[in-house]
């Protein structure tokens, strides 16, 4: 009977081989190889850390499917010097990946308990270029804007102007957009003429709540 460590090692190797069929960015794959996804999960779910599926982390939230995490991260085409905003810290797993690919990651989370927990795990694992904040009244984190890139890990009914305004001109955002039940993953590049949009394929996320997105009353 393999130990948990042996099981996780084999599972991670199999997951990376699976992801490599759809993800071509070697740096993204290396980041996934380096980050211990199990540390961002409740103890009872750690044996399933490297299955290619979302898992529940409490408070109605999930840790996203690794393939979606990889596709979203790859779409940003990070070069290493960026200041990046993540909207929806969740478990902190994607912030850990992004911290290896960007210079600075600012992450916001509307569930205070998740923000606190993610901050602790990220600090314990030594991801010093990530700061986690409990979300305020405004969507995103305008206090530290502008950002070179924004990644949104919850679905909005449209590309929020509130977030586009927090990007540098030419900066890009990756965000799920659509109805509460089905969305398309979209890359939006800020330009003087308005956002230039690229469709990256179908996806399904929990709703993004707040100004410019879903209100709590209509999100269920």
| Enzyme catalytic residues | 64
In terms of DSSP H, where are the helices of 90-137? 93-99, 112-124
Contacts of 169 (CB under 8 A, 6+ apart): 190, 191, 192
Q: How far apart are CA 86 and CA 39, in angstroms?
A: 19
What does DSSP say about strands 183-189 and 167-178: parallel, antiparallel, or unpaired? antiparallel
Instruction: Give the separation between CA 71 and CA 111, rounded to whole angstroms.
Output: 25
Rounded Cα–Cα distance for residues 16 and 29 (Å): 7
CB of 175 closer than 8 Å to CB of 154: no
> Where are the extended beta strands (E) located within the chain?
55-58, 61-63, 83-87, 104-109, 130-134, 147-152, 167-178, 183-189, 196-203
Is beta strand 147-152 parallel, antiparallel or unpaired with respect to 55-58? unpaired
State which H helix or E strand residue 20 sits in: none
């Amino acid at each position: 009977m393999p130990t948990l460590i042996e099981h996780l090692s084999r599972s991670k190797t199999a997951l990376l081989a699976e992801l490599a069929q759809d993800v071509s960015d070697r740096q993204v794959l290396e980041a996934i190889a380096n980050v211990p996804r199990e540390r961002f999960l409740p103890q009872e779910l750690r044996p399933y850390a490297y299955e290619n599926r979302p898992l529940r982390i409490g408070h109605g939230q999930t840790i996203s499917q690794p393939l979606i995490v990889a596709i979203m991260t790859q779409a940003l085409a990070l070069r290493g010097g960026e200041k990046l905003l993540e909207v929806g810290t969740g478990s902190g797993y994607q912030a850990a990946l992004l911290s290896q690919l960007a210079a600075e990651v600012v992450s916001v989370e509307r569930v205070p308990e998740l923000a606190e927990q993610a901050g602790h795990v990220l600090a314990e694992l030594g991801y010093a270029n990530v700061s986690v904040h409990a979300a305020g009244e405004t969507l995103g984190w305008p206090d530290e804007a502008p950002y070179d890139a924004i990644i949104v890990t919850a679905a909005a009914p449209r590309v929020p102007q509130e977030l586009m305004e927090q990007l540098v001109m030419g900066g890009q955002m990756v965000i799920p957009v659509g109805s509460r039940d089905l969305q398309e993953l979209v890359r939006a590049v800020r330009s003087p003429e308005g956002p230039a949009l690229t469709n990256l394929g179908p996806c399904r996320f929990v709703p993004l709540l707040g100004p410019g997105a879903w209100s709590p009353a209509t999100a269920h």
